Amino acid sequence: MPDPFKKLHDKRNQILFIELAGLLHDIGKLSKVFLEYRQQWQDISNGWDIDPHDHEYLDKHEVYSNLIPSEFENYKIPANIDSGEENFSIKKAIDFHTKPGEDLILKLLKAADGLDSAIDRNNPLWSAEQKNKIFKSNVFGYEGNKIVTVESQEKARHVLYAFLGNMLPGYLDHFDSKVRIKIFSGIKKAFDQGLSDTTRPQNDTTLWEHNYAVASILKVIVVRYILCNEKLDDFEFEKVEFGIFGIGWNGMRFLSYGQKIGDILGRQHIIEDIKRCLKDLIEYEYPIGNEIYSDDDGIYFIVPAKLDGYELKELRNKIDDEVYKIAAKASSGELQPHIVNISETNTLTSLAKAIQCMVEKTIYPFDSSVNGFDEYFKGALETFEDGKTVCPICRLRPVEKEDKKKKVCKTCMDRRAQNDKNDADKYKPKHNETLFIDEIVDKHRKAALIVARFGLDDWLKGTMVRSLFVTEASGLEKEINNLGNVKQFEAEEKKIKEYLSNRNYGEFNYGRIEADIDALFKDKDFERAKNIAFLYDRRNTFSPDGEALKKIRTKWGKFLKAAKKEDSTIDIYNLLNAKTPTPSTLLDIWNTTLNFLDDLPASILNALLPEKRRLKLTVNNLDPNKYGRTLDGKVIFKDKSVKKIDILIINSNEIEVINETKSDSPTSKDWSNADIILTDPLPHLKVSKDQKGSSFVPYRTITATPNLFMSIVPADRAVEITNLIYQKYIEHFGKVMGRLPFSIGNIFFDRKMPMFVVLDAGKRMVDNFDKLSKQRIKFTALKDKESIPSGIKLDLKCTLGKLDKTLTWQLPSKLGNCEDDFHHSYFIVNNNKESLPDNRKSFFKTIAGNVVHCSEIMKGDELQVLPNYYDFEFLDSNIRRYDINLSENNRRKSNVANFSSKPFLLDELGQKIMCLWFKLLQGKQLKGITDTKLRNLQSLWLTKYQEWDVNISNNSSKNFNGWINLVLLSIRKEFNEINDKHYILLQETIKNGLFFDTLELYLGILKERIETK
């Protein structure tokens, strides 16, 4: 056995044990005593020094001491890993993680903890402590009414102890992979409810995110130490380095090969299986790292640094080898993974780099440049005999039987069948979703694929995180006013307060913050530096002397140097006042978007779409093991009428009929005495009883990952669902509106359309959204912002591809306690003429751009926005999908005429498209509207548009003016009672083409009519 393998093999149990201890080190924060301490410490004379969670929590503060699993104390390994007395335990990690002494593992734990807590945990303002209700937030600032109660913490910890008491004895005996996964999910369930810090905005990190990040960093530095025998005495968090190891592929391309929903899901399961196996390989089998991100396009791990280096070359080659084998086996040779390794970094924001690298690699499905790649993948494919038909799904293997109606290969057939097997629990959808397109389509036999896409790049890179604030003008002002209220430091604080009140350093704004930090950093004014250090360094830094100031300066210099590696444009002011993209912040970014998308089926689709019960029939005996689970055939009713049906075999004497429900109507067919003849040579079935069968909801989710959601829904509900998803986005992410792009597409199709065409169309739309998510657009404020109960209201205008648009944002901007949120609610503003730093108190220069708090947005401000888009297309043929491409100016053609009105703003969906249809047209607010009148006008306007050679993108031309005059005149003539608001809406949407696209959507695609009643 070569050396690194032997070492890893010999030390595996220790590595996994250290990982577990790291994961549990903050269990004391999941408690009433911790929360109450945080609420009260400022009023206690030695409050700062008595945080219970790391002061021998288990011995001194644990109220459930009889529940603590004995393994916490009794299971031990040597604290220096290699030899010596066995004295490192979970208990030690919990009790002493901030005071490691000479204990090597504890020192490493402290370093890992320090890296995840770097800068931003140092300086939340004390006035931002939550002394009453404690709200939980996330990196995007969504608090809602997520209140953390002491009861919830006590209960979660109680449950966790009981759970661990059950699991630990077995786990610590064998360190089994499956048990490890169970233990992780048990701890996650508990820690997701807890907070790593209660002070705003540090209440954005859950206890799980922080502890998982720390445990993972700890794991990789321990492994690096074991493998390379590095001396780690005096190890500090500044020295922590790690690598990022990514395995990826083009998920959308792989998913899209399929005719039926079942084929797509079968392929989705393969991706899941591969990820599961890779996780097992890297986290357990070797075990060198932990997963830090995954979506349909791959999975990424934090691993020891220099995995590419000479010392670990052999290990790396072996891992690569295993990775290819896993993918080849699980995908029968169809999915060739690519590998990206960022060798040395100290920030998880390098993940963005790794993902970008992967995207470039996966443009080509097969990369023959990698040695030994071919054998796994080619070998896994059966040899192909001449003259055989190629399977239309995988396009690789011969079909199973040439004469069969359903011509696909055996592998693809098995994958399809896998989905509806009763026993395939892991493949079961969570929400009763149907697998059959016939049960999804609307009354016009149409369905829609909804694709929703986040643009996470700038977040994973950390850029946008640095546009959110820990300290800023309004908070600093509050902090100064609050000085003297923290008991333990009352005297120091009062001294500073007095000093500051005698100096005129000016109002808090960007200039003041700059000058404060300059004083400290550039040694301009020693007195000032001493007295304001506490605002920008650790909060308990009071009046440091020259030596201490020098230390602060050196520390900041190091931070800045490290941050500049990520983004060379960052300055010290941005660095010290904004949030830092720590590992747990990065985890929170994609955990939050994943949870949001993953929750859409439950929160929107199941709530909106009706649950139905399939028709269940009792029949004479049939052997369910002999046949596939779905079969087609026909039913012959008593009255000799015949109907084609598809059935599902439930058991030996029960079947269900797909797309049929039990009806109580007297005119409906009598199934109870019918005969069923199945297409294949199978026994005829005699029905003896009909009743209600299993329930289903008419939609099917294809995928929900951190950046992508895809679901197939009835066509006539797609627009409504899309709008509800966007409303939910605004509620959850409205504070970062314009900085977190989110777009939704609707691909409409008839039930006969093969799924690969639908998915390919979806993929094209996603590609468009990705491109658009990098392009900032100027939105101009039409008025000063208005305050509304939930936040702010902004009226805006913008121009997309020469077409003018107006829109309104109503955005949340409050904290859970109803105060204004000065940590998150900002816009990137780029006014040319005005000096923003002088005129807006909240102005701040960040690497994401110059920002201003939403409460200070004024008429004429030019916001730099990453817009959210909406797009739709109807696949009236296989080749229509090729139209879903952006032209050079990032626009695409409407199907109505020569203008490029697509994609729209997602804001326009509710405010314009749905408003036009549901209010003006269908809602009859346009007095005198009828179906015929509308269609006549539409045809007149479009005919003249063609005849006169009009182009709405050229709105100063004579042709355009003549045409728009005709249109507006006919509106005045036909609808003389029209009010100004509606007239303006019609005028705008006719001028920018949206009106015609709306009619195409409702009249053309969805086959709606203006009701005459």
Binding footprint of Zn ion on the chain (CB under 5 A): 391, 393-394, 397, 409, 412
Structure token pair of residue 25: 């080190």
CA 388 from centroid of its chain's CA atoms: 44
In the complex, least distance from residue 379 CB atom to Zn ion, rounded to whole angstroms = 17
In the complex, least distance from residue 276 CB atom to Zn ion, rounded to whole angstroms = 23
In the complex, least distance from residue 416 CB atom to Zn ion, rounded to whole angstroms = 10
782 burial type by CB count under 10 A (0-12 exposed, 13-18 middle, 19+ buried): middle
Nearest to 704, CA basis, from 404, 271, 399: 271
How far is the C-alpha of 315 from the C-alpha of 313, rounded, in Å?
5
Cβ closer to Zn ion: 381 or 934? 381
How far is the C-alpha of 350 from the C-alpha of 341, rounded, in Å?
10
Nearest to 27, CA basis, from 163, 126, 220: 163
Residues contacting residue 968 through CB under 8 Å, at least 6 positions apart:
987, 990
Cβ closer to Zn ion: 392 or 1004? 392
In the complex, least distance from residue 415 CB atom to Zn ion, rounded to whole angstroms = 8
In the complex, least distance from residue 471 CB atom to Zn ion, rounded to whole angstroms = 58
In the complex, least distance from residue 380 CB atom to Zn ion, rounded to whole angstroms = 13
- Sequence-ordered strand ranges (E) for 174-328: 242-248, 290-295, 298-304
Structure token pair of residue 3: 């050396």
Cβ closer to Zn ion: 267 or 732? 267
Cβ closer to Zn ion: 393 or 589? 393
Nearest to 419, CA basis, from 150, 701, 175: 701
Q: Collapse the DSSP code of 449 into the 3-class scheme (helix H, G, I; strand E, B; otherwise coil) and give the result.
A: strand
964 burial type by CB count under 10 A (0-12 exposed, 13-18 middle, 19+ buried): middle
In the complex, least distance from residue 407 CB atom to Zn ion, rounded to whole angstroms = 10
In the complex, least distance from residue 275 CB atom to Zn ion, rounded to whole angstroms = 22
Structure token pair of residue 974: 């036909």
Residue 448 β-bridge partners: 713, 748
Cβ closer to Zn ion: 134 or 327? 327
Dihedral sign of CA atoms 544, 546, 550, 553 in order: positive
Cβ closer to Zn ion: 400 or 598? 400
Q: What is the per-residue burial (b if ≥16 Cβ within 10 Å, else e) of 695-718?
A: ebbbbbbbbbbbbbbbbbbbbbbb
In the chain, % helix, strand, coil (3-state, to 5) comes to 45, 20, 35
Cβ closer to Zn ion: 156 or 412? 412
In the complex, least distance from residue 256 CB atom to Zn ion, rounded to whole angstroms = 14
In the complex, least distance from residue 395 CB atom to Zn ion, rounded to whole angstroms = 7
Cβ closer to Zn ion: 186 or 392? 392
Cβ closer to Zn ion: 288 or 408? 408
Cβ closer to Zn ion: 386 or 888? 386
Q: Collapse the DSSP code of 248 into the 3-class scheme (helix H, G, I; strand E, B; otherwise coil) and give the result.
A: strand
624 burial type by CB count under 10 A (0-12 exposed, 13-18 middle, 19+ buried): middle
In the complex, least distance from residue 397 CB atom to Zn ion, rounded to whole angstroms = 5
In the complex, least distance from residue 409 CB atom to Zn ion, rounded to whole angstroms = 3
Structure token pair of residue 142: 């969504």
How far is the C-alpha of 974 from the C-alpha of 927, rounded, in Å?
9
Cβ closer to Zn ion: 391 or 604? 391
In the complex, least distance from residue 417 CB atom to Zn ion, rounded to whole angstroms = 13
Cβ closer to Zn ion: 93 or 409? 409
How far is the C-alpha of 160 from the C-alpha of 183, rounded, in Å?
10
Residues contacting residue 101 through CB under 8 Å, at least 6 positions apart:
none
Structure token pair of residue 305: 């640094």
Q: What is the per-residue burial (b if ≥16 Cβ within 10 Å, else e) of 829-848?
A: bebeeeebbeebbbbbbbbb
In the complex, least distance from residue 405 CB atom to Zn ion, rounded to whole angstroms = 16
Angle at 737 between CA 733 and CA 739, to 5 degrees: 105
Compute CA distances 974 → 529, 815, 924, 967, whole Å.
73, 49, 13, 11
In the complex, least distance from residue 381 CB atom to Zn ion, rounded to whole angstroms = 10
Cβ closer to Zn ion: 381 or 937? 381
In the complex, least distance from residue 391 CB atom to Zn ion, rounded to whole angstroms = 3
In the complex, least distance from residue 682 CB atom to Zn ion, rounded to whole angstroms = 24
Structure token pair of residue 964: 């728009």
Residues contacting residue 40 through CB under 8 Å, at least 6 positions apart:
47, 131
Q: Is the peptide bond before 681 cis (omega within 30 degrees of 0)?
A: no
Cβ closer to Zn ion: 760 or 821? 760
Where do we find the tokens 């470039």? Answer: 360
Nearest to 351, CA basis, from 242, 207, 276, 192: 242
In the complex, least distance from residue 258 CB atom to Zn ion, rounded to whole angstroms = 9
Instruction: List, edge to edge, every strand of the sheet that includes 742-750.
Output: 700-704, 708-714, 446-454, 742-750, 869-874, 904-905
Cβ closer to Zn ion: 291 or 400? 400
Terminal CA-CA length for the chain: 83
Cβ closer to Zn ion: 393 or 597? 393
Cβ closer to Zn ion: 35 or 394? 394
Cβ closer to Zn ion: 393 or 721? 393
